Chain A
Amino acid sequence: MIIRRRLRDWLPVLAVFAIGLGLWQGLTTAFHVQAFLLPKPTDIATSFWDNKGALWHAGVYTLKEAAGGFAIGSGLGVVAALFLARFRRVGAAIMPFAIAANAVPIIAFSPITNNWFGLLNPISKMSIAAVLCFFPTMVNTLRGLTSVHPSSIELMRSYAGGELSVFRRVRIPSALPFMFTGLKVAAVLSMIGAIVGEYFGGPTNALGVSILNDSQLFDFPRAWAGIALASAFGIALYGTVALVEHATTSWHPSARRVSSE
């Protein structure tokens, strides 16, 4: 019953996907579009199949960088948010710098981190991904921790609850939906950080390096296959976060759709 409904919900999405691919295939064939402009989906699929071992290997390598950066950056973001929510004065002093730092194009530091940690060291890409993940997680979690209804705090105080109680029983649970909003943004950014970091150099078995090399060698279907894999892994990271979100914040009113039918 539920599975059938899920299928029905997903059917329009799949249809749009299929139509999009069909149009892409049809138009590139009909107008003889050159591969360096836009390869045919079938060519990309064929290239992927022919190189599946190497591409998959490179994808997993880059995914590990992204996931590592995500874990480090988002973890620090949550810790920083907790700290800044607890010590508001410090937070007020630091926030302007955090916002200014957030406006810095972090990707621009890729050549620098490559120098710091070494071109072939995955830490050089992880650190870029981590810095990218830090801000959205920190800002969103902090907003969640501090935008609690004053009555909720008064209620805890009327029960003689201290600061720790307020955090444990009110601020943290009500910040979870905000935190996950940040984590979902961070999940996507981590993959971008890892791939773009690799464009500035890295081991040949990395997906970003592979995409760069393929396009320079005019093997565009293989480059596109790499991009497709990078997208798939990015979506997978996002999906994993969304699944964890669903499991931990099913109480949230936004999840009511599930139980009210």
Chain B
Amino acid sequence: MTSSTDAVVTIEGLSKSFRTGVTALQEIALDIRAGEFVSLIGPSGCGKSTLLRVIGDLVEPTSGTVVVNGKSAHQARLDHDYGIVFQDAVLYDWRTVARNVALPLEMLGWDRARRHARVAEMLELVELTGFESSRPWQLSGGMQQRVSIARALSFDPALLLMDEPFGALDEMTRERLNMELLRIWEKAGSTVVFVTHSIAEAVFLSTRVVVMSARPGRIAGVVEIDLQQPRTADTREDGRFFELITAVREMLAAGHGDDPVRRPPVAEEQV
């Protein structure tokens, strides 16, 4: 793949080996265009979380380049181009909900009035108006994750990086938050990179699904998701939805052809 003019992220020849000798990522090439919703899916140990962290300059690549908005990933991080949502909400207990959402704004040096207005706006976006002065631990897991999304979007980052954000939630909450995330994505017009274990979630949310294979982590293929926008509850009943799920599943199976039992497990998280 070559970089196009509207690419937000351009990844070329990216490899990552950990000091343990494990090759987490090998020769990754990927372009992500503005406004895209790209999911990274693959078996445990395929390096999808590592890839997300390399894009976000939280992990150094061993070789290869990551260009974000025409800059190095490092410069992009210093320029506050990333909003990150982790699997657990990572809210600070010593801050109220409102002050958690305001955290990146404080670090950007916004004044109080501007922070206050934006926090109100963001909490309205994730439908948590009225919970400003609650403590994170007083909220349910789904609500906490919505606070985390509000925080990640509060400063209009160029790129929203989400690492299995709904992985720890029950299926019903997860489906509801999927709908909500799409609504927010359409409204905010952000570019999203989304790591998930769930094929259905990846197909439902994305404009493109990047299928990865494990040991070493490689891109097995990319599935364009041509489902109609905006996605609705009916999308999940659509025949095309099931065809695309099958396509992703087959690609996962093909990329997973070798016997994983013979290989040592990969330490994916090393931060």
Contacts and interface: CB of A to CB of B under 8 A. Distances in A.
A151 B93 contact: no
A151 B88 contact: yes
Interface string B48-61: 00000100101000
Given A158-B56, A158-B58, A165 B107 contact: yes
A120 to B, nearest CB: 45
A169 interface: yes
Interface stretch (A139-147, A189-197, A251-259): A251-259
A161 B92 CA distance: 15
Interface in B207-256: none
B58 A157 contact: yes
A154 B86 contact: yes
B122 interface: no
B110 interface: no
Contacts of A170: 92
Interface string A125-158: 0000000000000000000000001111011011
B153 interface: no
A174 B56 CA distance: 25
- The number of chain A residues touching the other chain, given as a range, is 20 to 34
B78 interface: yes
Interface string B74-89: 0001111011101010
A176 B108 CA distance: 25
A161 B105 CA distance: 12
B104 interface: yes
Contact of B90 (A155, A169, A249, A256): A155
Given A160-B80, A160-B107, A169-B103, A251 B90 contact: no
B174 interface: no
Residue of A155, A252, A253, A256 with most partner-chain B CB within 10 A? A155
B197 interface: no
B62 to A, nearest CB: 19
A151 B103 CA distance: 15
Contacts of B80: 159-160
B84 A154 contact: yes
Given A165-B107, A256-B137, A158 B84 contact: yes
B271 interface: yes
Interface residues of B, number: 26
Contacts of A253: 93, 135, 137
Residue of B77, B84, B94, B95 with most partner-chain A CB within 10 A? B94
Interface string A235-256: 0000000000000010111001
B56 A173 contact: no
Interface in B19-77: 53, 56, 58, 77
A249 to B, nearest CB: 8
A260 B138 CA distance: 8
Contacts of B95: 251
B37 to A, nearest CB: 19
A161 B80 CA distance: 10
B94 to A, nearest CB: 4
Contacts of A174: 92-94
A173 B95 CA distance: 10
A161 B58 CA distance: 12
Contacts of B56: 158
A159 B135 CA distance: 22
A152 B92 contact: yes
Contacts of A157: 58, 77
Nearest to B96: A251
A152 B89 CA distance: 10
Given A154-B84, A158-B77, A160-B77, A149 B135 contact: no
B107 A154 contact: no
Interface in A10-48: none
Contacts of B88: 149, 151
A50 to B, nearest CB: 50
B87 to A, nearest CB: 8
Interface string B93-126: 1110000000110011000000000000000000
Contact of B103 (A154, A159, A256, A259): A159
Interface of B: 53, 56, 58, 77-80, 82-84, 86, 88, 90, 92-95, 103-104, 107-108, 135, 137-138, 161, 271
Given A154-B58, A256-B135, A256-B137, 4 more contacts: A150-B271, A170-B92, A174-B92, A260-B138
21 contacts: A149-B88, A149-B90, A151-B88, A154-B53, A154-B86, A155-B84, A155-B86, A157-B77, A158-B56, A159-B104, A160-B80, A165-B107, A169-B92, A174-B92, A174-B94, A176-B94, A249-B94, A251-B95, A253-B93, A253-B137, A259-B138
